[in-house]
Amino acid sequence: MFDDDFFDDDFRDMDNLLIEFHKLKNGDAHDLIQEEEFELLIDYFDSQNDRENAQLACEYATTLYPFSASMYLCKAEWLFNQKKYGQALKVMDQLRQIDPNNIEALFLESDIYIEQNRHEEAIVLLKRAVENYSGNEKSDILLEISEVYDELEEFDKVYETLKRILKEDAENEEALMRICFWAELTNNQEDSIALHQEITDEFPFNATAWYNLGVAFQGIDLFEEAIDAYDYCLAIDDKYEYAYRNQGDAFIQLKQFDKAIEVLETHLTLTKPEDIILEALGYCWEKQKQFAKARVYYRQASQLNPKDDQIFFKIGETYTKESQWEKAIKAYSVALHINKNNVAYCMALGNCLMELNSEKEALVCYLNAVQLRPDIKSTWQALVKAMYATNYLDEALAQLIIAEEHCGHKTEFVFYKAAILLAKGKTKDAVLYLEQALLENPKKVTALRFIDAELMHHPAFADVLIQYKKGK
């Protein structure tokens, strides 16, 4: 039941209105029901799922008010909501005879065609009608056309339609809000720059136009120009939060982390904290080697989005950079618990365990990494190094054979074979592999330092390396 407050002084309350409706329905004497009251009755019956009386109310409305466009529109809308599209279109034909330029009827007819998957007919209808309108109504029709093109996934036409609106109505807020996204999606940033420069020249105090200009510049990596555009936007509207967000990103791209921090912290004062902003602030502090401050923001971000494994990984990275291996392990373990199939997390955890001389535990991590991505060379390198450190020499050689099957021949693997064979006491074979590796790619000799830095000074290898340098 509707509250009495819903009705103004010109209307009866719903109980009295229903009494008069049922009198009309039964053929009894009744007071005249006004057009607006019929609309209320239709809405009421619809809310009660009383289709029979809703339909009757529609019929009575158009019968009693045969020249009322609003009554025909109300009836057509009800039929549309009942998915009776054919009947609705017939009512639209009657409405058009009464009021051929009714824009609400135009939009409803377009919606009917779209629901029937007759998108092209909807576009033809709207395009034919648009020339009969001007001002805001014309812009509204063009916005509707852009939405139909969106459903058809004709995205370039969406952009061109929005551009047409702005060419005729440069400060149309709806078109300005939409075109920013479509310029980026359709790679029309340069065209968008030209368009918005025209708009800002004519309307220099339009904050949205300056914002769009900044986004377009940023889309083609012109970050300094983007920052300038955002400055103008914020000078006009210092609470334009998306301008702060994007300007902060532009400063990050330019590695101006102190300015990015200032902008993003201002953003935090304007709206509720978001994990993406907090994470960006953490990144900026991390880049400035302020790892404790970075963790403050990363942790705040993780509280807002506790299922984001990347944030916990980044916390682990800050501890790693401070050589706080145990704390890093805890952070990496959380990340890996959330995302068990991430190779980088397995590798990071394994590397920390190696630093703590927990080689056997590290082996488990590296084996997981290899199983997840056997096509990545670095996973095999870490695994072989851990096996070398734990004296699993035969297993290390076996793994190198499997590694070549997945990654192909790599000079680093030849150096590793030389190191392993030397550790097994097979000095002659080790030297042969070392010589082969040096012939293949001498720049990869750092692979020896990776697996065991002392090997560079081992007598058997040192002689070969000295002779190679002399020969070179």
For residue 22, what pLDDT is reported? 78
pTM over 0.85: no
Length of the chain: 472
Q: Tell me the C-alpha distance between 454 and 358, whole Å.
A: 20
Model pLDDT for residues 257-307, shown as the tens digit of each residue:
999 999 999 999 999 999 999 999 999 999 999 999 999 999 999 999 999
The mean per-residue pLDDT over the stretch 241-251 comes to 97
For residue 7, what is the DSSP state? Answer: S
355, 325 Cβ separation under 8 angstroms: yes
Percentages helix, strand, coil for the chain (3-state, rounded to 5) are 80, 0, 20
> What class, spelled out in words, does domain 134-271 have in CATH?
mainly alpha
Q: Which residue has the higher pLDDT, 436 or 11?
A: 436
Does the pLDDT at position 234 exceed 80?
Answer: yes
φ, ψ of residue 407 to 5 degrees: the values are -110, -10
CB neighbour class for 470 (10 Å; exposed up to 12, middle 13-18, buried from 19): exposed
The mean per-residue pLDDT over the stretch 103-121 comes to 91
- Of 164, 202, 198, 158, nearest to 181 by C-alpha is 158
For residue 4, what pLDDT is reported? 44
4's tokens: 């009495």
Q: What is the mean pLDDT of the chain?
A: 91
Q: Tell me the C-alpha distance between 469 and 260, whole Å.
A: 48
Going 345 to 347 to 348 to 353, the CA torsion angle's sign is: positive
Model pLDDT for residues 166-216, shown as the tens digit of each residue:
999 999 999 999 999 999 999 999 999 999 999 999 999 999 999 999 999
Strand, helix or coil for residue 29 = coil
For residue 70, what pLDDT is reported? 85
pLDDT band at 471 (very low <50, low <70, confident <90, very high): low
Does the pLDDT at position 5 exceed 60?
Answer: no
Q: Tell me the C-alpha distance between 66 and 43, whole Å.
A: 20
328's tokens: 């890093």
- Alpha helices per DSSP H over 271-392: 275-287, 291-304, 309-321, 325-338, 343-355, 359-372, 377-389
For residue 34, what is the DSSP state? Answer: P
> What class, spelled out in words, does domain 1-117 have in CATH?
mainly alpha
Greatest Cα-to-Cα distance within the chain, rounded to the nearest angstrom: 119
What residue ranges of the chain are covered by domains with CATH 1.25.40.10?
1-117, 134-271
Model pLDDT for residues 24-64, shown as the tens digit of each residue:
877 767 677 877 888 888 888 888 788 888 888 888 788 88
